[in-house]
Amino acid sequence: MGIGKLFLTSITSGIITLDELQWITNNQLSFSRCEQAAAIRLGYLLDSGQLNLGCRL
C-alpha cells in the first residue's frame, strides 16, 4: 500500500479505515515530503468532516 493510492481511495469513497490510519502512523517517519503533505491533507479532511472514519464493504 502507498500513501498515494490510499489518498485517492479515501477521497473517492469518502471513507478511511482505522487500519489505514494505523498504517499511516506506523510508516510516517519514512514518508517523503510529498507523502507527508498527503497524510496532512487526509488529517485535514477528517477534521473538517469531509472524510469519514469507517469501513468499506
* Angle at 13 (CA atoms; ends 35, 36), nearest 5 degrees: 10
Q: Can you give the residue ranges of every domain in the chain? A: 3-52
Q: Pull the grid cell for residue 24.
A: 499511516
> Does the structure show a pLDDT above 90 at 46?
yes
- pTM here is 0.88
- Over residues 3-43, the pLDDT tens digits come to 999 999 999 999 999 999 999 999 999 999 999 999 999 99
Name the burial class of residue 6, with classes exposed (0-12), middle (13-18) and buried (19+) by CB atoms within 10 angstroms of its CB.
buried
> Does the structure show a pLDDT above 90 at 1?
no
What residues contact residue 35 under an 8 Å CB cut-off, 6+ apart? 3, 4
> Does the structure show a pLDDT above 80 at 57?
no
Q: How far apart are CA 21 and CA 52, in angstroms?
A: 12
pLDDT reported for residue 56:
74
